[in-house]
Structure 1
């Protein structure tokens, strides 16, 4: 059991068949110093889910919002 983790999900119909989405996500997180503990992507390609340390979750969401132009989206 791993404690103090957060599950983050990236989803959107525009992801299907779009090359490089996962690379953008994980490069952005790596450049921000966010360590990924687990990754999951469904066969539908509509989403990517990953687990990070709870202490890094807010930073992960912020840098991903910036990368994908979602700075005005609300997050916790």
Structure 2
């Protein structure tokens, strides 16, 4: 992703992993964190990971006004 000032994302911002029967997103030490379904992880938050819900999830890299907003669909198939 190409990010221009004011910067929203870090070079190694997030990690998505499947763990058993769910998907987890982890903040990898970014400055602004990640917003996952309205919950903030990383950045100034003490929480560093969140479990994605089955179905649609909203993931924002950086702050709420970041242009890097994604819909992530999780299916158990």
Normalising to structure 1: TM-score of the pair?
0.31
- Please state which structure has a larger fraction of its residues in strand: 2
Name which structure has the greater RCO, CA cutoff 8 Å, separation 6+.
1
